[in-house]
Chain A
Amino acid sequence: MATVEFRVGRRPHITVENDICRSCTTKACVTACPADLFTPTADGGILFNYERCFECGTCYLVCNSQGAITWTYPDGGHGVVFHRS
């Protein structure tokens, strides 16, 4: 994924509520995210990096726990920039 340009904004446009994630049995986001940004932690939570996000929306669609993922678009001009797609 080093091939993609990201103009990283200061504000994380997606946040993950770890208290909810710890009780999640599927954690579908971990494999479904095409940018591989959701990492399970030892305590059963989720470590999430917003910096290399494609802004696709798959994570909130597969999330089965209400409120676990708060999803917005990055601030204007920030985030992923495709050049050859």
Chain B
Amino acid sequence: MGDQQGDATQGETGPDKTAPDDATQGETGPDKPATPNVTAGHFDAVVVGAGPAGSTAALVLARAGRSVCLLERGPFPGSKNMYGGVVYGRVLDAILPRWWEQAPIQRWVTRRSTMVMTPTQSVSVDVRSRRWGEPPYNGATALRQEFDSWLAAEAVAAGATLVCSTTATGLLQEGGQVVGVRTDRPDGDLRAPVVIACDGVNSFLAKEAGLYHHTDAAHFTLGAKEVLGLERTEIERRFGLVGREGADLEMVGCTGDIPGGGFLYTNLDTVAVGVVLSVHGLAAAEVRPEHVIADLKAHPHIAPLLAGGELKEYSAHLIPEGGYAMMPDLVADGLLVAGDAAATCLAAGLWLEGVNYAIASGAAAATTAADALAVGDVTARGLAPYLRRLEDGFVLPNLRRLRRVPDLLLSARMQSSYPAIVCNVAEHLFTVTDPVPKPGLLRLARRELAAAGVRLRDAGRDGWAAVRSFG
């Protein structure tokens, strides 16, 4: 396979130059020479998937002095990826200090809105902070094609070998031990003592290894979005932003009969608007995802924000919404699983995070792999410290603490009853009823709960579940 390295990315181009600071051109493109540590398809480690988990894993292994092959089935890193979404960079501070000076960021999120809506009403909690627009920043919007290519280029700069346009078709196993991967290239077997599967939400490698004990569609949501082109200054005017400030709007109550939510993110000169839909609910509703997006775009409080936007790209991707509840086993003999493949996704309403969990799990897997290679024990036992590393950081503590939230958010009461109750109570609260004296807030709430057919006992139980998770 070594002599095919030059072919791997031949004739391919990097992502479109949609931002002025595309850091990856020329580094992962066709002119990149094969790195010297390519030796006839044998590496210390093979990392499958050059998304945030895989590129971080390759970066950490390369820095530990290990030869590592980073496989990507797309023509360039990020070409198969889409998300909402926001990148929360704190996890990068230790890996790439002052990452914000190089990372291809679209906008720094200085405005985070949560909107609860009905077809004609909405109530927003609009949180804004100037501090989020200054180093070290909080969240950023970024295009995955640019961000993932940048992170992969960092791995290559550290010594990893990136091989694009190559699909890992299966695991190489000997006596139950994973010893590499098969690829779709001729003579494309890649042998390595350790394989890190960062092959995304469908992770066929983790499934082949038997690490997923079940695949329940109830744990998945479908994310579908449109990227709409708008003048940069127009985006800033409509969302009240200055310079590189950005907005993140999360919505609930906007997906009709399908449990889910909506989102709207500002890029530099595009706006991403879309929905996240329960896969079960989508199938049952017999409604097309793009129609749900169209309804959201037509909402009276969203439409003015998007008016005149020109469709640039429509995309869709599955989300391992269940998080902790759907996590597979994370290690096998010779194999570690990270990122969406490991369902390290926090879909907890108030917090919607994934890229940072992918980066953290990729780094933890790679550190574990480097230690295991050093002592010569790459069995599941030798790789078991991966779990402890995920426990010590934020990944498992947060996912476990919030494990009930995805189900709570997709429940019927949270999806339709509560948004209507909140909107009605708020509307009545600010509707002046002269000459009738003002009703009390509690009376309003009780009346709306009753009108929506929600029992106090159930509302109390949901409130308690929320307090237990978020409190």
Q: Per-residue 0/1 for B289-315: is the Cβ within 8 Å of any A Cβ (1 yes, 0 no)?
A: 110000000000000000000011111
Which stretch in A15-23, A26-34, A43-51 binds the other chain? A26-34
Interface assignment of B417: CB less than 8 Å from any CB of chain A? no
**A66 within 8 A of partner (CB):** no
Cβ of B294 to closest chain A Cβ, rounded Å: 13
Q: Which A residues are CB-close (under 8 A) to B202? A: 57
Contact (Cβ within 8 A) A83 B165: no
B282 is an interface residue with CB less than 8 A from chain A: yes
The answer to whether A3 and B313 have CB atoms under 8 Å apart is yes
Q: Give B202-241 interface residues, CB cut-off 8 Å to A.
A: 202, 204, 215, 217, 220, 222, 224-225, 227
Assuming the contacts A32-B282, A62-B282, A83-B16, asked whether A7 and B314 have C-beta atoms less than 8 A apart, the reply is no
Specify which chain B residues have a CB less than 8 angstroms from the CB of A56 in the assembled complex.
222, 316-318
In the bound assembly, the distance between CA atoms of A43 and B185 in angstroms comes to 39
From A7, A77, A79, A84, B143 is in contact (CB under 8 Å) with A84
Q: Is the CB of B316 within 8 A of A31?
A: no
Which residues in B have their C-beta under 8 angstroms from that of A84? Answer: 16, 18, 143, 145, 227, 267, 270, 312-313
CB under 8 Å from chain A, chain B span 263-284? 267, 270, 272, 279-280, 282-284
- Determine if B131 is an interface residue (Cβ-Cβ < 8 Å): no
Q: Which residues of B contact A76 (CB under 8 A)?
A: 73, 164-167, 183-185
Contact residues on B (Cβ < 8 Å of other chain), bracket: 35 or more
B80 within 8 A of A: yes
- Contacting pair B313 A83 (CB below 8 A): yes
- Chain A positions 1 through 26: 1 when the CB is less than 8 Å from some CB of chain B, otherwise 0: 10110010000000000000000001
Let me know if A32 and B316 touch, CB within 8 A.
no
B406 within 8 Å of A (CB atoms): no
Contacts of A80 in B (CB 8 A): 79-80, 315
Q: Nearest chain-A residue to B225 (Cβ)?
A: A85
Tell me whether B272 and A85 are in contact (CB under 8 A).
yes
A73–B164 CA distance with the chains assembled, in angstroms: 14
Q: Assess the A34–B290 pair: CB atoms within 8 A.
A: yes
Bound Cα distance A31, B136 (Å): 44
The answer on a CB contact under 8 Å between B288 and A81 is: no
Cα-based distance from A77 to B284 in the complex (angstroms):
34
Residues of B within 8 A of A83 (CB): 15-16, 18, 79, 143, 145, 313
Chain B: CB-nearest residue to A81: B79
Q: Is the CB of B74 within 8 A of A61?
A: no
> Residues of B at under 8 Å CB distance from A?
12, 15-16, 18, 73-75, 78-83, 143-145, 164-167, 169, 183-185, 201-202, 204, 215, 217, 220, 222, 224-225, 227, 267, 270, 272, 279-280, 282-290, 311-318
Q: A residues within 8 Å of B by Cβ?
A: 1, 3-4, 7, 26, 28, 31-32, 34-36, 54-58, 61-62, 72-77, 79-85
